[in-house]
Structure 1
Amino acid sequence: MTDPHPDEPRWKHDGVRVIKGDQLDPNTAQTPGMFRQAAINHARVGAQKIWAGTVTIEPDAKTGVHHHGALESVIFVLRGKARMRWGERLEFVAEAGPGDFIFVPPYVPHQEINADPGAPLECVLVRSDNEAVVVNIPDIEPVEKPETVLWIDPIHRHPA
């Protein structure tokens, strides 16, 4: 396909993109009990260094212990109650509610939990790269084990 404006800088016609909330892409890694949708990634907008989207986490759902390698993650809580556990045995805990941001540094072993047994947790998720880096850590004995839902999909393998 030829550029209809070859004499102008590309950003003038292909610079800012608006992704409507009802046009998010569910064609991303999914986890039982969690529903992710991509808004910004390489496939959708050509992003080179960032991924952004939404996640809805069912009541009582928990991930297995994992980290995201060198990636940084930011989670913004829209609705619900998030609980994060982290550390060598997940001995640290923090909770976040609507309007709160959560920052997860590179290589930090952690577990995400919907702390409300009666309502979904809705968040916006931003990662510092397009790669879906997940390193499961099955040999950690967490303070609070995954119960209702384990994080299992083609990227996130069962910890056993």
Structure 2
Amino acid sequence: MSDSSPSPSPSRWKHDGVRVIKGDQLDSNTAQTPGMFRQAAINHARVGAQKIWAGTVTIEPDAKTGVHHHGELESVIFVLRGKARMRWGERLEFVAEAEAGDFIFVPPYVPHQEINADPQNPLECVLVRSDNEAVVVNITDLEPVERPEEVYWVDPIHRHPGGGA
């Protein structure tokens, strides 16, 4: 294999090479949403990732986000357990459901709502985003088809639509 890039010293690869993040070592110091629990596995702070974020999310039974999009980011969701419902579009007029083993792709700027479609069991997913920055743009002038029962993304990044925390 020919490569014109300079060869790093072997000791560099020890610290800058492959990283294994154990499932019991995920970082919950990430943006949280009521009814959802996110944990980062791969990000800049943990492994030096420059162009990707990966982690897990557990969504409580019947929990729903408000309507939002992720700017330029692309997102991939892999359903481990449970039943996911996604609504998307200018008026959330489109809907699809995914079960264990299914992948969901969310393109840039698509208004959407994430929903645990099971009223009794948690939804467990792996989430991968195309950048390290958490970009969430809440869309407050669109009435969701499935109301989030006043559950909004509330943390330093995600503000309540009324402006408060």
Q: Same fold (TM over 0.5)?
A: yes
Report if the CA contact (8 A) 1:61-1:148 is conserved. Answer: no
Number of residues paired by the alignment?
A: 155
Report if the CA contact (8 A) 1:62-1:151 is conserved. Answer: no
TM-score, length of structure 2 as denominator length: 0.89
* Match in the other structure for 2:69: 67
Q: Deviations over 1:123-142 (max 9, x none)?
A: 00000000000000000122
Q: Deviations over 1:44-70 (max 9, x none)?
A: 000000000000000111000000000
| Superposition RMSD in Å | 1.6
* Match in the other structure for 2:141: 139
Unaligned runs of 5+ in 2: 1-7
Task: Determine which of 79, 101, 122 is the counterpart of 2:103.
Answer: 101
Percent of aligned positions with the same letter in both sequences? 90
SS in structure 2 of the partner of residue 43 of structure 1: helix
Cα distance in structure 2, aligned partners of 1:127 and 1:63: 17
Task: Determine which of 1, 13, 30 is the counterpart of 1:11.
Answer: 13
Residues 123 and 7 from structure 1, CA distance in 2 versus in 1: closer, same or farther, beyond 3 angstroms? Answer: closer
Amino acid at match of 2:61: P
Q: Which moved more, 1:67-76 or 1:25-34?
A: 25-34
SS in structure 1 of the partner of residue 10 of structure 2: coil
TM-score, length of structure 1 as denominator length: 0.91
Unaligned runs of 5+ in 1: 1-5
The structure 1 segments of at least 4 consecutive aligned residues displaced by more than 3 Å after TM superposition are 6-9
